[in-house]
Amino acid sequence: MEYRRLGGTGLKVSELCLGCMTFGRETDEKTAAKILDRFIEVGGNFLDTANVYAAGASEEILGRIVGDRRKDLIVATKVRFNANIFMGKTVGPNQIGLSRGHIMSEVEASLRRLKMDYIDLYQVHSWDFETPIEETMRALDDLVRHGKVRYIGASNFAAWQLMKSLWVSDKHDYARFDCLQPQYSLISREIEREILPLCRYEGVGVIPWSPLGGGFLTGKYRSGQRPPEDSRLAKMDMWNRLADERNYRTLEAVEQVAKERGRAISQVALAWVNQQPGVSSVIYGARTEEQNEQNLGAIGFSLEAAELAALNKASALPVEYPNAMRARLPGYPRQSYLVRFPSHSGRG
């Protein structure tokens, strides 16, 4: 397993991060323990969960199965939502969001469920339009200064939201977001337009979720056929959004590379995300030991330049303003907007 710096920090995380969202939901504790044991056996040290996954059961299971290996692992969790809203229950006005009060109560609840004294990476799950970002960043800074949290990150932020957060931290000398957790795969490449260049420029690590496009890039789905009723795409009603010409073209390109290399389709899809500039670690999930083993097959596997080019071409998104202007402006850089920016933040 390769280890990389998390953004501009000195923290080293494994190239694959075990996503624990299935723990307590599709995956029982016994199976979760075996998945974790195997992940650690091959060198994995990075684990990601959230306070709302399986209504808190994911954190509880993780706390029990980590045991005395805590010091060797990097544990990440999140704050923002309340599990009750996902079950149709009513919550109080201060039991959700990124206010100081909610952050302070939820970090204590997560620490209790995890049975841990500190959280390595504490992430805000999404932007909160009702709370000033200054309040959120000050609360997170206090958690870092008090030792309850060692690093902070964000998830599902737009580029302007991440930049605003970084500016507030720099202005007030608060702890800074060290990483961003966005959706990213050959199916979902939108973050390449603004978010990835921003992260590269500011020295913010990127730890993508859903690198297999919600399961679309596993080879289980075929053009013109409905997904199996028990599949994730069918249950989450994602099929109508994903079943289009571009995505099937992308799937065919992944299948071709996989066939030529003698690899599983999912391994090729994971390898593509893993090789994108600025990515610190790729979050994958597994419901079963078999899925876990297959995904771990992406370790030590690199795509060649011609293979990357074929996958990029098949999955390319339309170029939008202002990037489209480069084709008409003399002297404007013609390279991809996924340019390898030097960091101007002094953090990487």
> What CATH number corresponds to the domain at position 79?
3.20.20.100
40: domain range?
3-327
pLDDT for residue 346:
43
- Per the structure block, which two tokens stand in for 200? 């590269």
Judge whether 91 lies within some domain.
yes
pLDDT for residue 91:
81
Is 122 one of the annotated active-site residues of the chain? no
Q: Which residue has the tokens 């990357």?
A: 308
Q: Tell me the pairing of strands 119-124 and 3-5.
A: unpaired
* Range among 18-32, 212-226, 235-249, 331-345 with highest mean pLDDT value: 18-32
- Per the structure block, which two tokens stand in for 338? 């996924």
DSSP 92-118: -TTSSSS-HHHHHHHHHHHHHHHT-S-
Judge whether 343 lies within some domain.
no
pLDDT at 63 over 60: yes
Judge whether 285 lies within some domain.
yes
| Rounded Cα distance, 296 and 95, in Å | 37
- Per the structure block, which two tokens stand in for 272? 């593509």
pLDDT for residue 291:
96
Q: Which residues of 195-222 are buried (b: 16+ CB within 10 A; e: fewer)?
A: bbbbbbbbbbbbbbbbbbbbbbbbeebe
Nearest to 300, CA basis, from 15, 13, 12, 5: 15
Name the domain count of the chain: 1
pLDDT (mean) for 13-20: 98
Task: Label residue 323 by pLDDT band (50, 70, 90).
Answer: confident
Judge whether 78 lies within some domain.
yes
pLDDT (mean) for 134-159: 98
Judge whether 240 lies within some domain.
yes
* pTM check: above 0.85: yes
Active-site residue, from 53, 122, 174, 184 = 53
β-partners of residue 123 are 78, 153
pLDDT for residue 86:
73
Q: Other C-beta atoms within 10 Å of 290: how many? A: 9
pLDDT at 7 over 50: yes
Kindly report which listed range (38-47, 74-83, 134-143, 322-331) carries the lowest average pLDDT score.
322-331
For residue 259, CA distances in Å to 25, 83, 113, 255 come to 33, 42, 43, 6
pLDDT at 238 over 60: no
Identity (one letter) of the amino acid at 192? E
Task: Label residue 106 by pLDDT band (50, 70, 90).
Answer: very high
Kindly report which listed range (74-83, 153-162, 315-324) carries the lowest average pLDDT score.
315-324
Judge whether 337 lies within some domain.
no
pLDDT in tens, 153-164: 999 999 999 999
pLDDT at 344 over 50: no
pLDDT in tens, 209-218: 999 999 999 9
Judge whether 13 lies within some domain.
yes
Element (H, E) at 119: strand 119-124
Judge whether 341 lies within some domain.
no
